[in-house]
Chains A and B, each alone.
Chain A
Amino acid sequence: MKIFNKLNLIEICIKLTAFIVISALILIFIFIAKESLPIFTSREIHNETNLSKLFLPQEYNPNKGKEFLWQPVSKIPKYSVIVLLLGTLKVTFVALIFAVPIAIMAAIFTSEFSSNFIKEFIKPIIEILAGLPSVVLGFFALMILATWFQNAFGWTFRLNAITAGIAIGLAVIPIVYTITEDALNAVPKTYRDGALALGANKWQTAYRIVLPAASPGIFAACILGLGRAIGETMIVLMASGNAAIMTLDFTQSVRTLSATIAAELAEVVVGSTHYCVLFFIGAFLFIITFFINLLGYWFVNRLRIKLEGKA
């Protein structure tokens, strides 16, 4: 009987641990959402801000008409999430425009054209890039990139959407590259052999056969890169200028959703409207990135099904 007790104890430990872990991870979202709940439930907070105030343009100054403003620390606090969302989108846009074509083309090169030697050389390079902490990339953008760009293009603000966007792009490149390369590698050799045997050259094979076959995976790579870009915090904090301005000019400073939380959480009073709004933004980010990743993995699965014919 002694043996049975010992066995069961270990097994109970294992099951208990798993249960706690899984609950804890679910807890994250619930807790964050809970802290933002007063926006909907508390009368006094509701006066300062509510769902419509967060998302729709408000009229603060009768002369200026309706506008989107994020100024939580002012006599009349203004909480338009749209300003921050625009900031996030601008920065993400730059990052993806920069990173996605380069990463995908590089992956095509290493997977379809290059020799093994080059492949083995590129892999560690990508791993080094992937291993750079975002604070280091932010540092690079702030200290070095911003100065280059300003010298080259003569912008008024050295810290703006483009500087931050390019730096985020550096973080996105390894993700898109790796997943694209996996997708291309997953295409069976027989597909390529068949095309080559019919007289196609390497590019035609890649373009007409391999790329279409791997397309769900490539799409997934872009989506996962998008998820990373949206959530990036440190780079933006250091290199974007942190000004919540509503403009389509990319050479102006921006403020993103994630950076806002990081920048403002330190001075906020627990339980205040500002506090709740920051948690609201956190929940918002959580949901967006969670579903973007979900979409990405769904496409990876589709790729697997397509190439392996699994049910």
Chain B
Amino acid sequence: MKFFYFLTGLACFIIVAIVFIVVGNIIYLGSGNITMEFLTKAPELGMTKGGIFPAIFGTVALVVLMTIAVIPVGVLTAIYLNEYAPKKSKLLKLLRIALHNLAGVPSIVYGLFGLGFFVHFIGTGIDKIFYGGNIIFGQPAIIWASLTMAMLTLPTVVVTTEEALQSIPDSYREVAYSLGATKIQMIFKVVIPNSISGILTGGILAISRGAGEVAPIMFTGAAYYLPYLPTRLNDQFMELGYHIYVMATQSPDVEITKPILYSTVLVLFVLTLSLNFIAILIRANMRASMRR
């Protein structure tokens, strides 16, 4: 038995070692360049100097737009599924299964959908109707990228919110009703306030994914170098993950851009790590208060 103890323990050790190596490299390679300047200035001289502020701005803008789209819609859908939909319906069971599995569909497929549907179909449609054929929205734009991201994270938000709602015992609902509450009052004054941690966790995980995924935005709005910040919905934008991808694979002078590349990776890493950390904190807080 000692052998298996050692073997399985070794597996654990390997994983820990790998994580330390990866994270260690990211921090070690990237930290040299992280200055206030780096974070607040725009890139210069074809990415060989300057900072990555536009990429940070673009990432934040993308995530904010995505969150505005996905959280209300996802939460309302979960409310419908858990509080209104008939419990025994076979259709609903199928829908839930479909929803669960949509979370596992590759992000590039969402990118494909985003390009074909949002950019080409909806975008050109809008152009035809409102802009007489000029290409205003029928091209990659931050609005389409955010909507594509929103679709990517929607299944996750719906599933986690639904689980949070399900964890509220029915007795709470009955008590609310017996005190004269309407269904809406019951949902918004009892169920939601008591499941808010679960809902927030799902939301933050979605946000973290939105900040880290690149495939959905490659064709729907992200660009490598832009002289402006995205201020209108049909602007393109720079984004941290996309920047890393292009810099790593297509940079003309790899040696000079390496420091910037490493530091950008570190910034993205810290960003997603913080978001995940916040989600973990919320979950831990929730468990602690449940233990009463």
Residues of A participating in the B interface, judged by any CB pair closer than 8 Å: 7, 10-11, 13-15, 17-18, 20-22, 24-28, 31-32, 35, 101-106, 108-110, 112-114, 118, 122, 124-140, 142-144, 170, 173, 177, 201-204, 206-207, 224, 227-228, 230-234, 237-238, 258, 261-262, 265-266, 270, 278-279, 282, 285-286, 289-290, 292-294, 297
Cross-chain contact of A140 among B26, B80, B115 (Cβ < 8 A): B26
- Per-residue 0/1 for B190-212: is the Cβ within 8 Å of any A Cβ (1 yes, 0 no)? 00000000000000000010011
- Per-residue 0/1 for B235-248: is the Cβ within 8 Å of any A Cβ (1 yes, 0 no)? 00000011011001
Could you say which residues of chain B place their CB within 8 Å of the CB of A294?
A: 97, 101
B34 on interface, CB distance cutoff 8 Å: no
Which residues of B (66-118) have their CB < 8 Å from a CB of A?
Answer: 73-74, 76-77, 79-81, 84-85, 95, 97-113, 115-117
Q: How far is the CB of A157 from chain B (nearest CB, A)?
A: 15
Residues of B participating in the A interface, judged by any CB pair closer than 8 Å: 1, 4-5, 7-12, 14-16, 18-19, 22-23, 25-26, 73-74, 76-77, 79-81, 84-85, 95, 97-113, 115-117, 120-121, 151, 154-155, 158, 182-184, 208, 211-215, 218-219, 241-242, 244-245, 248-249, 261, 265, 268-269, 272-273, 276, 280
Cross-chain contact of B9 among A32, A113, A170 (Cβ < 8 A): A113
B106 contacts A230, CB within 8 Å?
A: yes
Cross-chain contact of B272 among A101, A131, A227 (Cβ < 8 A): A131
- Expressed in whole angstroms, the Cα–Cα distance for A173 and B151 within the complex equals 26
A113 contacts B79, CB within 8 Å?
A: no
Which partner residue on chain B sits nearest A26 by CB separation? B98
A138 contacts B8, CB within 8 Å?
A: no
* Total A-B contacts with CB atoms under 8 angstroms apart: 243
- Expressed in whole angstroms, the Cα–Cα distance for A237 and B102 within the complex equals 23
Cross-chain contact of B77 among A22, A139, A201 (Cβ < 8 A): A22
Contact residues of A: prevailing secondary structure: helix
Which partner residue on chain A sits nearest B185 by CB separation? A7
Could you say which residues of chain A place their CB within 8 Å of the CB of B25?
A: 140, 144
Could you say which residues of chain B place their CB within 8 Å of the CB of A7?
A: 182-184
Q: How far is the CB of A78 from chain B (nearest CB, A)?
A: 21
B11 contacts A102, CB within 8 Å?
A: yes
Could you say which residues of chain B place their CB within 8 Å of the CB of A35?
A: 116
B1 contacts A125, CB within 8 Å?
A: no
A270 contacts B120, CB within 8 Å?
A: yes
- A113-B8 CB under 8 A given contacts A234-B214, A262-B111, A289-B105: yes
B273 contacts A138, CB within 8 Å?
A: no
Could you say which residues of chain B place their CB within 8 Å of the CB of A131?
A: 208, 212, 272-273, 276
A233 contacts B1, CB within 8 Å?
A: no
- A14-B108 CB under 8 A given contacts A131-B276, A262-B218, A290-B101: no
9 A-B pairs with least C-beta separation? A231-B106, A133-B212, A18-B80, A105-B11, A109-B8, A203-B1, A293-B104, A131-B276, A293-B101
Cross-chain contact of B106 among A106, A122, A278, A285 (Cβ < 8 A): A285
Could you say which residues of chain A place their CB within 8 Å of the CB of B273?
A: 128, 131
Could you say which residues of chain B place their CB within 8 Å of the CB of A170?
A: 18, 22
Could you say which residues of chain B place their CB within 8 Å of the CB of A139?
A: 244, 248, 261, 265
